[in-house]
């Protein structure tokens, strides 16, 4: 009887695989709900883009978390409750789930959390709020959130993905600095202000969208993001900041906005995987070592007449001792 049941179960599984069956995840399971529609990371089709080889289907998508607080803490003993803001409390349960309740701005809560649910009513994640939470794997942010402060999630080395909700308009500098397990981030179109070095040294970050209303990519935004495969540069961007894409080894192709005017120092330093890049005629300034480390196997096509403009740094493509990138003047 047991043998017959095993054969039946095997046949059913095989049939399901052939038919392409898939199950949906219960939103109350205490984990991210993978049954939801993934966020579109590639952004507006009118935007310029950076990408690595491979189709869009191969890119990592970011799931909106569907954490059910009641189910996560059911039967769990309260370990500690503390104030984490003038009008907010943080409660940790014995399974290392932290529930944040209240209104306004929150400061650093309880540090051993592995899962954090920030409740509705919270409007700001304060300076270094979750900085150094090395066990934090997942966080759910509320629709009332408006600001993520400087270094808010800095050194959260176990955090794997972040869904920033609509309504957030500001993300501070170093917000996700050295989140070494972070692979994907969803940013809303409501973001109008981003600080420097937000994703600096997120060594496993593969894909992120930039809000379409941005006009500059801040300094150090993706410096040392060595696994970065996909990011959308909005068509309205006029400046790429210092070291913004430095040492992004996995990028192989770059399309720059047609109204770009400034490429700052070290902007694309040591991006040795990029095969070619075209600098539009709108570019008025290229900073020192913007393309340093590029080799003769790589090509920079400049959409202007031959000869370096006086507003470009003499070492814009690297040091004089550099082997040298292949530059094509196409004016």
| 90 plus 104 within the same structural domain | yes
| 326 plus 238 within the same structural domain | yes
For residue 181, pLDDT over 90 is answered with yes
Using alpha carbons, select from 156, 95, 149 the residue that is nearest to residue 122. Answer: 149
Q: Is the dihedral of CA 49, 203, 185, 217 positive or negative?
A: negative
Q: What are the tokens at 69? A: 């607080």
Write the pLDDT tens digit of every residue in 219-234.
Answer: 999 999 999 987 778 9
| 292 plus 251 within the same structural domain | yes
- Residue 207 has a pLDDT of 84
| 214 plus 316 within the same structural domain | yes
Residue 68, exposed/middle/buried by CB under 10 A (0-12, 13-18, 19+)?
A: middle
Q: Tell me the three-class secondary structure of the chain, residue by residue.
A: CHHHHHHHHHHHHHHHHHHCCCCCCCCCCCCCCCCCCCCCCCCCCCCEEEECCCCHHHCCCCCCCCCCHHHHHCCCCEEEEEEEECCEEEEEECCCEEEEEECEEECCCCCCCCEEEECCCEEEECCCCCCCCCCCCEEECCCCCCEECCCCCCCCCCCCEEECCCCCCEECCCCCCCCCCCCEEECCCCCCEECCCCCCCCCCCCEEECCCCCCEECCCCCCCCCCCCEEEECCCCCEECCCCCCCCCCCCEECCCCCCCEECCCCCCCCCCCCEEEECCCCCEECCCCCCCCCCCCEEEECCCCCCCCCCCCCCCCCCCCCCCEEEECC
Q: Which residue has the tokens 């954490």?
A: 67
Separation of alpha carbons 214 and 47, rounded Å: 11
Q: What is the pTM of this model?
A: 0.80
| 141 plus 159 within the same structural domain | yes
Residue 183 included in any domain: no
Residue 7 included in any domain: no
Q: Which residue has the tokens 């789930």?
A: 97
- Residue 209 has a pLDDT of 83
| 66 plus 148 within the same structural domain | yes
The b/e string for 263-290 (b: 16+ C-beta within 10 A; e otherwise) is: bbbbbbbbbeebeebbbbeebeebbbbb
Given a contact cutoff of 8 angstroms between Cβ atoms, the answer to whether 106 and 133 are in contact is no
Write the pLDDT tens digit of every residue in 23-75.
Answer: 333 333 333 333 332 232 323 333 444 544 433 333 446 878 899 999 999 99
Residue 102 included in any domain: yes
| 217 plus 282 within the same structural domain | yes
| 235 plus 287 within the same structural domain | yes
Using alpha carbons, select from 202, 157, 196, 160 the residue that is nearest to residue 177. Answer: 202
Separation of alpha carbons 190 and 192, rounded Å: 6
- What is the pLDDT confidence band of residue 94, given thresholds at 50, 70 and 90? very high
Residue 196 included in any domain: no
Pick the last residue of a domain from 170, 196, 218: 170
| 70 plus 124 within the same structural domain | yes
Residue 65 included in any domain: yes
Separation of alpha carbons 69 and 64, rounded Å: 15
How open is the CA angle 65-199-60, to the nearest 5 degrees?
45
Average pLDDT, the chain: 83
* Total of domains in the chain: 2
- Residue 3 has a pLDDT of 42
Between the CA of residue 62 and those of 43, 160, 284, 290, what are the distances in Å?
13, 10, 36, 31
Given a contact cutoff of 8 angstroms between Cβ atoms, the answer to whether 172 and 200 are in contact is no
| 54 plus 68 within the same structural domain | no
| 43 plus 85 within the same structural domain | no
Residue 3 included in any domain: no
What is the CATH classification number for the domain harbouring 308?
3.80.10.10
Residue 32 included in any domain: no
> Which residues are bridge partners to 204 per DSSP?
none
The domain of 83 spans 61-170
| 140 plus 211 within the same structural domain | no
Write the pLDDT tens digit of every residue in 127-152.
Answer: 999 999 999 999 999 999 999 999 99
Provide mean pLDDT across the span 179-199: 96
């Amino acid at each position: 009887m047991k043998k017959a049941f095993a054969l039946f179960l095997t046949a059913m599984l095989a049939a399901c695989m052939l038919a392409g069956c898939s199950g949906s995840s219960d939103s109350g399971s205490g984990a991210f709900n993978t049954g939801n529609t993934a966020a579109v990371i590639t952004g507006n089709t009118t935007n310029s883009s950076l990408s690595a080889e491979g189709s869009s289907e191969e890119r990592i998508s970011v799931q909106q978390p569907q954490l059910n607080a009641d189910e996560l803490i059911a039967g769990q003993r309260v370990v500690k409750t503390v104030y984490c803001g003038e009008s907010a409390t943080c409660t940790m349960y014995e399974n290392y789930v932290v529930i944040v309740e209240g209104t306004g701005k929150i400061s650093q809560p309880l540090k051993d959390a592995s899962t954090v649910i920030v409740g509705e009513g919270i409007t700001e994640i304060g300076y270094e709020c979750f900085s150094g939470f090395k066990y934090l794997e997942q966080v759910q942010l509320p629709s009332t959130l408006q600001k993520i402060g400087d270094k808010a999630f800095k050194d959260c080395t176990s955090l794997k993905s972040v869904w920033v909700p609509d309504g957030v308009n500001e993300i501070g500098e170093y917000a996700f600095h050295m989140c070494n397990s972070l692979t994907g981030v969803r940013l809303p179109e409501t973001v109008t202000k981003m600080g420097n070095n937000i994703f600096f040294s997120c060594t496993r970050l593969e894909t992120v969208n930039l809000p379409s209303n941005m006009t500059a990519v801040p300094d150090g935004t993706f410096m040392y993001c060595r696994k970065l495969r996909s990011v959308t540069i909005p068509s309205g961007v006029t400046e790429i900041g210092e070291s913004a894409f430095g040492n992004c080894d996995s990028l192989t192709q770059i399309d720059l906005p047609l109204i770009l005017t400034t490429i700052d120092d070290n902007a694309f330093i040591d991006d040795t995987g990029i095969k070619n890049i075209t600098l539009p005629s709108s570019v008025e300034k290229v900073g020192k070592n913007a393309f340093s480390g590029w080799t003769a196997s790589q090509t920079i096509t400049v959409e202007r007449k031959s000869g370096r403009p006086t507003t470009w740094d003499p070492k814009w493509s690297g040091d004089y001792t550099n082997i040298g990138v292949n530059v094509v003047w196409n004016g």
